[in-house]
Amino acid sequence: MDFVVIPRRRNYWIEAIREGGEHQVIACCASEGEALQRLRDLRDGQQAREHRRMAVEVSRFNTRTALASSEP
């Protein structure tokens, strides 16, 4: 998923672009600066979720590997 800022008249719309090209409106901001800050926050949150997901997967893999190697 990616996020974009789209200027529309006097506002700035933040949209999420999902797989398959589907657009979903996330927020509407009155200024470009506010929209860009919100965009950064959304991307940072998404990146943090991805890092946590990868850490869990690596932890599960390491646990399975350790258990498999300790079995006789």
Contact between 1 and 18 (Cβ < 8 Å)? yes
Type of residue found at 63: T
In angstroms, the CA 21 to CA 2 distance is 10
pTM for the model:
0.68
Q: pLDDT by residue (tens digit) across 33-65?
A: 999 999 999 999 999 999 888 888 888 777 766
pLDDT tens-place string over residues 5-41 = 999 999 999 999 988 889 999 999 999 999 999 999 9
The pLDDT value given to residue 55: 87
Contact (Cβ atoms closer than 8 angstroms) between residue 13 and residue 27: yes
Spans of all domains in the chain? 2-70
Q: Quote the CA–CA distance of 64 and 39 in Å, as a whole number.
A: 38
